[in-house]
Chains A and B, each alone.
Chain A
Amino acid sequence: MTTRRPVCFLIAISPLVAGWCALFLGAYDVSPFIVIKSLINEVIPLAGMSDLPEQAIILDIRLPRVILAGVVGIALAGSGVTLQGVFRNPLVDPFILGLSAGAAFGCAISIGFFPEMPTQVAAFVFSIGSVFLTYNIAKCQGEVSRLPLILSGVIISAFFTALTSIVKFLVDPHKLQNIVFWLMGSFALADWRTIAVSGVGIMVSLCPVLLMRWRLNVISMGEDEAKSLGINVNRDRLIFVVSSTLAVSLAVSVSGIIGWVGLMVPHLVRMLIGPDHRTLVPLSMAAGATFMIFADTVARSLAGYDIPVGIITAVSGAPFFVYLMKRGGNESWGR
């Protein structure tokens, strides 16, 4: 553990470093001096700064975008590592319980048929609803254990994916295009209001995970072992699942569906610092934020376009995951 302290420290501060660097990059050419002056101006008002468009670029466009990317990264990676621990399965990601399919359906019907209903609200409601259905289907067999829960997630995902396809088939192409873009995930329209609602919600949702993270070590040993140590596995599992679901639902509702982060980042961190959830959970959150800020900065700076960030995470995530599997998958999970 002592030898890993520098690594832990670097991971912990990486979101701040990534966020700071991201503020200097973008389509609008802003000098580093103006960036720093704009930030200072928020604390100590400087003469003539408020009227500069650069001030709005940094504080109203770039900064909320960077923060939202970081918060969503925290939610996805934090939920990913939690659910991997709960289900004792390294292939679990935050969307395993049908959440993304539910959110996609909410988005589709909001854009397609109920434009007066905000897309974020619809996505949030249906993502929560899909996980609720998943849990209740799994409960049909009595005690909610791992396998029925995962299988129910597969069923609900397939069901909502089919419903989304029906909506996509029925709506006209103008609306279809918006649905497709939403599903790709993006932070392009991030603003302070979005952060106020989702950021606070995500942080509050993840509090139980942070406070109870040591129990993940026990649960991941197996149900029988955990019960023998006095852990109420079903109750704790429910708390972890509900917390993760709330956090990811809020994240998905403001960013769209961004894959790979919740699967890849915990693996990377586990390889670097080991499987102890007491450090693995908070550092996965930090690394998730860093990765998401980095991916979004690439998305908005790579070319003249604003590439949906879900594309960046998938393109980088898939090959990187293959590399991780080849390099250290066996050691990390002790197969």
Chain B
Amino acid sequence: MNVFRIVILFSLMMTAVSTETAAAVITYTDKLNRTVDIPVPVKRAVFLQMYEMLPALDVWDRVVGIASYAFRNGLLRKANPRLDGIPSVGSGANVNVEAILQLKPDLVITWAWHPEAIRFMEEKGLRVIAVYPESIDDLYREMALLGTLFQRQERMAAVRGEMQSIFALVRERLAHGDGSKKQKMVYLGGQSNMVSCALGINNNLLTLIGGINPADAIGQRSTLVAIEQIVAWDPDLIFIWGNAGYSAEDILTNPQWRHIKAVRDKRVYKLPDWTTWSPRLALVALWMAKKAHPQDFQDIELADVADALCRKAFRISCTAETVP
């Protein structure tokens, strides 16, 4: 009788396990509209993109390969002193497929704008998903996906909550401020005549902080425009991408820009070189909001908010020196 009970119990357990295994395959439609079945939890992952999510996910033991650019990321280095021990597998644009195949990953997370590389990796038997968050909601979706893939849903929900509280702070302060006159803002890229347009996370940020992006009429992510076009827009505020090879001073001292309101009022700001595909996106938004509406955020210390987010999201401290 006891043996019979044990057999029944064992059968039930096996059924439960197999049901769980069968159910633990998620179907995901990625940025390129490719539908990919992914068994979860992912145990061996290659991160060619979104690697700043790793300290938030805390799944370092499941990362078998990482993009070469990750080794230049100060936050990752601080979060994982053993970062150099993870094999480099190239980048989203220049994938080292042989190195990835050798690592036998369950999943490769890569950049959406190199579909040939994705197709090639798939032909070699790799399971690949393409990511490219173009808005805050897109980033939340990718974060939720990563939470599901690594069974860190609660953790990702908590990080999202931290980000949302910062975005809510921005919205709340702007709602109380004088919203009657919106400011014209442009976001300059790698060259001083490259502007962020209607698509992409930068336009999303400008809108969030109560700005009007005059380049919004151009249906692209970014484009080169004539400097006289920027003069014609006459923005109240100019933001410069943190990785640009020129400074705010370069713009402020260039006579070609002198008739632009933002230059006359000395409201040209170069952003910190933080990636926007990270929980740090919320800090970027707060940084921009403080510059755009200093009177509404004068009691907010960005360094304190940044440190709190880093501790909660990445489990490290972001010291004041890292927050401009």
Chain A residues packing against B (C-beta within 8 Å): 26-29, 53, 56-57, 60-62, 111, 115, 169, 172-178, 181, 186, 188-189, 191, 300, 304-308
Contact = CB atoms under 8 A, between A and B. Distances in A.
Given A173-B93, A178-B190, A306 B229 contact: yes
B35 interface: no
A300 B223 CA distance: 12
A308 B224 contact: yes
B229 A56 contact: no
A178 B191 contact: yes
A173 B226 contact: no
Contacts of B93: 173, 176
B225 A306 contact: yes
B256 A61 contact: yes
A28 B232 contact: yes
Contacts of B91: 173
B255 A60 contact: yes
A177 B241 CA distance: 13
A304 B227 contact: no
A115 to B, nearest CB: 6
Contacts of B245: 111, 115, 175, 178
A306 B94 CA distance: 29
A26 B226 contact: yes
Contact of A188 (B69, B190, B224, B259): B224
B193 interface: yes
B199 to A, nearest CB: 14
Contacts of B94: 169
A175 B245 CA distance: 8
- For chain B, the bracket of interface size reads 20 to 34
Interface of B: 69, 72, 91, 93-94, 189-194, 217-218, 223-229, 231-232, 234, 241, 243, 245, 254-256, 258-259
Top 8 nearest A-B pairs (CB, nearest first) are: A53-B259, A27-B229, A174-B243, A28-B228, A28-B232, A306-B224, A300-B226, A306-B226
B193 A188 contact: yes
A76 B138 CA distance: 47
A244 B292 CA distance: 50
A56 B94 CA distance: 44
A244 B255 CA distance: 32
Nearest to A308: B224
B223 A29 contact: no
Given A181-B224, A304-B217, A305-B224, A174 B190 contact: yes
Given A27-B232, A300-B226, A306 B193 contact: yes
A28 B69 contact: no
B254 A191 contact: yes
B256 A56 contact: yes
Given A175-B190, A306-B193, 12 more contacts: A27-B225, A29-B232, A56-B258, A57-B259, A173-B69, A174-B241, A181-B190, A181-B191, A188-B191, A189-B191, A189-B227, A306-B225
Given A178-B190, A305-B223, A191 B256 contact: yes
Contacts of A169: 94
B207 to A, nearest CB: 20
B189 to A, nearest CB: 8
A61 B228 contact: yes
B249 to A, nearest CB: 15
Contacts of B193: 188-189, 306
Given A169-B94, A181-B190, A186 B224 contact: yes
Nearest to B228: A28
Contacts of A172: 69, 72, 243
Contacts of B223: 304-305
B46 to A, nearest CB: 18
A62 B229 CA distance: 11
Given A172-B69, A304-B217, A304-B218, A60 B229 contact: no
A188 B192 CA distance: 9
B226 A27 contact: yes
20 contacts: A27-B226, A27-B229, A27-B232, A53-B231, A56-B259, A61-B256, A172-B69, A173-B69, A173-B93, A174-B190, A175-B243, A177-B189, A181-B191, A181-B224, A188-B191, A191-B255, A191-B256, A300-B226, A306-B193, A306-B224
